[in-house]
Amino acid sequence: MKKRAFLVVSVVLALSLVLAGASIAQQKKFFVISTGGTGGTYYPLGGILAQALTEKVPEVVTTAQAGQASVANCNLIRDKQIESAFVQSNVAFNAYKGLEQFKDKPATNLRFIASLYPETIQIVARADSGIKTVKDIKGKRLVPGDRGSGTEVDALNVLGAYGYTYKDFAGVDWLSFSGAAQRLQDKQADVTFTTAGWPTAAIQELAIATKITVVPIEEAKIKDLTKKYPFYSKIIIPKGTYKDQEKDVATITTMAQWVVGAEVSEDVVYKLTKALWETGAAKMANAHAQGKNVQIKTALAGMAIPLHPGAEKYYKEAGLIKAEPAKKAAPKKK
């Protein structure tokens, strides 16, 4: 009898532990941040942020995954295949409004969490290609970024300002930042566009292996572009950013943003937004040069899509959004 009782108690304890473990597992929520290619800025910053969020909000297991950049990331959120992503502000705007590549399938469930840092349009050419201005790239071999990426959108906008289309080039190939850098290094391409925070790892590595020219956009075209596309602004890539870069380079920038699906709960987004600004931003600043530009004072810069209620709750608490005063009750009629 004692042995049977012992066995019964043991089985009950074992089942209790299994059920307790299952209960804990069920309480965990899984949350993905889709980033970009491994040669860009999204990927390392996304990994740092995901780790910081998981440490700060342990009931939400946050992971970062390499993605195919802004356009693909918006499509994944639209189709509810991922919870969140890093995207360019101009692409988020187009996706939500159903413009350009999203004309037939808008991503109306896109919601804003935060602007992170400026993403700069960097036009990089082999030094021996003879390219010194954007006008010089006509007739050359071009890599405008990954097909359908935010970088390609920017490349087409800049080319359009100069009256160029893909037909004006000797060859066009669509590649990731790393792939484009390798093509230039192998002398199989002459010029590429990269929209990312600088310094960008793929360009740094290319500059070490091959002499490059960081190509400026002329002032008149910058004015045209910023007037036509209000999500762009002028920025200077300071000399010395890349090996042998001897001059400041004028170009344009947009904001990298963290966006999320509208279906993600208010509680989860609130906790993750709070963790971003209380822990994640500092960790990104310590680990990556572009992370220093992730600052709460620009958290709402360039917001062109609706703010997620969870993020809105945090920003009201932080004083970035003024809470609407409570309405006074109408006086009772005597």
* pLDDT, tens digit, 9 for 90 and up, residues 86-131: 998 888 999 999 988 899 999 999 999 999 988 899 999 999 999 9
Give yes or no: residues 151 and 56 share one domain.
Answer: no
Same structural domain, 112 and 261: yes
Enter the pTM of the model: 0.71
pLDDT for 230 equals 75
Statement to judge: residues 167 and 278 lie in one domain: no
Structural domains counted in the chain: 2
- 48 in the same domain as 143: no
Least confident of 13-22, 90-99, 177-186: 13-22
Q: Which of 233, 255, 277 is the last residue of a domain?
A: 255
CATH number of the domain encompassing residue 244: 3.40.190.10
pLDDT category at 317 given cuts 50, 70, 90 is: very high
Q: What is the residue range of 310's domain?
A: 29-116+257-318
Tell me how far apart the alpha carbons of residues 106 and 102 are, in angstroms, rounded to a whole number.
5
Write out 258-307 in H/E/C secondary structure: EEEECCCCHHHHHHHHHHHHHHHHHHHHHHCHHHHHCCHHHCCCCCCCCE
CA distance 58 to 41: 25
| Same domain as 235, residue 217 | yes
Residue-wise pLDDT for 230-289, tens only, equals 778 888 999 999 999 999 999 998 889 999 999 999 999 999 999 999 999 999 999 888
Q: How confident is the model at residue 310 (pLDDT cuts 50, 70, 90)?
A: very high
Is the pLDDT at 148 greater than 90? The verdict is no
The answer to whether position 9 is within a domain reads: no
Per-residue pLDDT at 333: 54
Same domain, 74 and 166: no
- Residue 282 located in a structural domain: yes
Q: Are residues 71 and 34 in the same domain?
A: yes
Q: In this structure, what token pair is assigned to residue 228?
A: 């036509």
Q: Which residue's entry shows tokens 């209000």?
A: 230
Residues 141 and 187 both lie in one domain: yes
60-70 pLDDT, tens digit each = 999 999 988 78
In terms of domains, do 179 and 229 share one? yes
